Amino acid sequence: MNNILTLGKSCCGCGGCEQACPRHCISFITDEEGFLYPSVDANACTDCGVCLKKCPIASDVPRGKDPAVYAAKLNDRQTAFQSTSGGVFYAIAADFLAHGGVVFGCAYDDDLKAVHIAAHNERELKRLQGSKYVQSDTRGVYRRVKEALDQSKPVLFSGTGCQAAGLRAFLGREYDNLLIADIVCHGVPSPLLFEKYLQYKGGKMGGKITAYNFRSKAKRGWDLYYMAETARKKQSDYGFFDPYYNAFLNCKTYRESCYQCPFANSERPGDITLADYWGVQKAHPEFYDSNGVSLVLVNTPKGEAAWEKLRKVTTSVPSTLEQAVVLNKNLREPSARPDCRDTIYEGIDGDINEYFSSKLAFKANPKTKLKKMIPTGLKDKLKKIKS
Ligand SMILES: Cc1cc2nc3c(=O)[nH]c(=O)nc-3n(C[C@H](O)[C@H](O)[C@H](O)COP(=O)(O)OP(=O)(O)OC[C@H]3O[C@@H](n4cnc5c(N)ncnc54)[C@H](O)[C@@H]3O)c2cc1C
């Protein structure tokens, strides 16, 4: 056998093989945990090996080395507020749109499923803002990227390291009109788990969840607070106090390939890499902003050209990789796989209340709980008194 099935659980699910297969004999199907894996029509497959050549895990993809590193934030505070970190993604994307370009990235569809879409205007771009902590469906997107590139449109593609590398492998060559922005990622839970979670959460809130923001800044600024909305209610709380989010932050529910992710280091597949600048308070105290700070790695000359264009709309300070990796572990290594990962998805198709309250049960640290109950204004006052 010389096809994509040899990868087994190392497959990252980018979907590149399906889109590249010259005989169209690969399709993606959902496994029992809700992750997409390739299935090959053995009668049609000729073992040509194209799928392996186009796979970011099985092939070598060009990567940046020795990036220039910055702490950065968008000058437009409202747009940064609506973004996860400092809003640098929006700034890059807006520049592409202003030049007649198209921006590919992850959005929620009408059912709150994370899917990669093409944004052609500001309204569509807003759907890409914000981190969705679940694996995005990229089926068909690399073909659409190539179509736009072949029409000579400026194209920005954004996604996790494996999705960015998947695009590079799929295209197999450089395009002057393409910029790839990869985001630092510590792993992705399955779409099925998120779907079940939304049902569970909706049940708790007494209505269907109509919007979900993993990184809402409304309550506490730049932190790990979610905002869930139904037609009648809004609820925001600290991620560690929620079963889905807690399991995500503790690396319990990731796709198997995430625990061996070859892109969880500082040699990045994107021209530019975006992340939260966790630890900026220590590295650059004067630059800390409760509205969010982005970490930017400029990996290639193309990335540098794009970054230079942002000078007018962003504020930044130079930083170093050594400073950046202190609290951004996934720029050094993949997330560790806990033993509970073996069975964490068992029961996902059963009673959802039972599943989330037992399988994904967690103990909130009482000290953290107390800390998170103190209103932000009071916290700032206490800090001032202390100093
Ligand atoms: C699953 C996941 C794990 C992450 N883990 C880390 C981490 O460990 N450390 C860290 O510093 N940063 C992490 N990030 C990145 C961080 O949360 C921000 O996405 C990043 O800093 C960009 O923020 P922004 O303010 O520039 O833009 P935003 O406006 O927040 O931009 C969102 C960008 O993220 C992309 N995106 C959103 N959800 C997904 C998804 N599910 N799959 C692929 N792309 C997506 C969009 O296409 C867009 O490009 C993670 C993001 C995701 C989605």
In a domain, 341, yes or no: no
Please answer whether residues 201 and 360 qualify as being in contact, where contact means their C-beta atoms are separated by less than 8 angstroms: no
User: In whole angstroms, what is the distance from residue 219 CA to residue 236 CA?
Assistant: 7
Pocket lining: 216 vs ligand 1, CB cutoff 6 Å:
no
Q: What is the mean pLDDT of residues 200-221?
A: 97
Instruction: Read off the tokens for 187.
Output: 């792993």
In a domain, 207, yes or no: yes
Closest ligand 1 atom to Cα of 292: 25
**pLDDT over 80 (residue 223):** yes
- 381 Cα–ligand 1 center, Å: 32
Specify whether 230 is located in the same domain as 323: no
Nearest CA among 77, 66, 79, 72 for reference residue 130: 79
**pLDDT over 80 (residue 218):** yes
**What is the pLDDT at residue 369?**
76
In a domain, 63, yes or no: no
The sign of the torsion formed by the CA atoms of 347, 353, 356, 357 equals negative
Please answer whether residues 119 and 98 qualify as being in contact, where contact means their C-beta atoms are separated by less than 8 angstroms: no
For residue 307, the SS3 value is: helix
Among protein residues, the one with the nearest Cα to ligand 1's atom 34 is: 131
| High-pLDDT (> 90) share of the chain, % | 93
- 95 Cα–ligand 1 center, Å: 19
**What is the pLDDT at residue 1?**
84
Specify whether 307 is located in the same domain as 235: no
The pLDDT confidence band at residue 382, using thresholds 50, 70 and 90, is low
Specify whether 245 is located in the same domain as 264: no
- In this prediction the pTM is 0.96
Pocket lining: 186 vs ligand 1, CB cutoff 6 Å:
yes
Specify whether 318 is located in the same domain as 356: no
In a domain, 129, yes or no: yes
Calculate helix-pair angle for 141-150, 161-171, nearest 10 degrees.
50
Pocket lining: 294 vs ligand 1, CB cutoff 6 Å:
yes
In a domain, 212, yes or no: yes
**pLDDT over 80 (residue 378):** no
Specify whether 286 is located in the same domain as 300: yes
**What is the pLDDT at residue 372?**
79
Domain of residue 265, residue span: 68-189+253-331
Dihedral, 100, 102, 107, 110 alpha carbons, nearest 10: 70
Please answer whether residues 92 and 306 qualify as being in contact, where contact means their C-beta atoms are separated by less than 8 angstroms: yes
Q: C-alpha distances in angstroms, 336 versus 134, 168, 246, 261, 340? A: 18, 27, 15, 10, 12
In a domain, 60, yes or no: no
Please answer whether residues 236 and 30 qualify as being in contact, where contact means their C-beta atoms are separated by less than 8 angstroms: no
For residue 20, the SS3 value is: helix
CATH of the domain at 30: 3.30.70.20
User: In whole angstroms, what is the distance from residue 89 CA to residue 4 CA?
Assistant: 32
Could you give the number of structural domains in the chain? 3
Say which residues have a Cβ less than 8 Å from residue 97's Cβ, sequence separation at least 6. Answer: 103, 119, 120, 121, 122, 125
**What is the pLDDT at residue 128?**
98
Pocket lining: 129 vs ligand 1, CB cutoff 6 Å:
yes
**pLDDT over 80 (residue 199):** yes
Q: Side by side, which strands form the sheet with 211-213?
A: 211-213, 225-229, 234-238
**What is the pLDDT at residue 364?**
81
Strands 155-160 and 102-108: what pairing? parallel
**What is the pLDDT at residue 379?**
67
In a domain, 182, yes or no: yes
Q: What is the mean pLDDT of residues 208-223?
A: 97
**What is the pLDDT at residue 371?**
78
User: In whole angstroms, what is the distance from residue 296 CA to residue 316 CA?
Assistant: 9
Q: Which uninterrupted H or E stretch holds 377?
A: helix 376-386
Specify whether 180 is located in the same domain as 41: no
- 344 Cα–ligand 1 center, Å: 24
User: In whole angstroms, what is the distance from residue 343 CA to residue 195 CA?
Assistant: 19
Pocket lining: 114 vs ligand 1, CB cutoff 6 Å:
yes
**What is the pLDDT at residue 100?**
97
In a domain, 80, yes or no: yes
Q: How far apart are the first and last CA of the chain?
A: 66
Dihedral, 155, 160, 162, 164 alpha carbons, nearest 10: 10
Lowest mean pLDDT among 29-38, 59-68, 302-311, 363-372: 363-372
